[in-house]
Amino acid sequence: MKVSFFATLRDIAGGKVVEFDVDHGITAQELLDAIIEKFPPMKKELLNENGEMYGHVHFFINGRDVQFMDDQFQTKITVDDTVNVFPAVGGG
């Protein structure tokens, strides 16, 4: 599954698009966990001290912010979905 990173996250990921070897139909949370496992420095950029995604970070699945989807981070993702992760400019 390809995940596109933006802004400062690109520096951590080493590029714009990173391929993740994950199961078809995983949840957004499982993908987020895989991202942090592959790039541990991303944890402090994405999650607060309670392990929740910062409000200024956007995790999009097919152009929709997962934080505003019905199932939020339990939303299932397929390999054909487009996933983008980025911090909003001026966030914090």
- How far is the C-alpha of 64 from the C-alpha of 33, rounded, in Å? 19
Q: Span 49-53, mean pLDDT?
A: 92
H-assigned helices in 1-92: 8-13, 28-38, 42-46
The CATH number of domain 2-87 is 3.10.20.30: yes
pTM of the full predicted structure? Answer: 0.90
Nearest residue to 16 via CA among 26, 3, 27: 3
Is the pLDDT confidence value at 92 over 90?
Answer: no
Give the tens place of pLDDT for each residue, 14-41.
999 999 988 888 999 999 999 999 999 9
Domain boundaries, the chain: 2-87
**pLDDT tens, position by position, 56-91:** 999 999 999 998 999 999 999 998 899 999 987 654
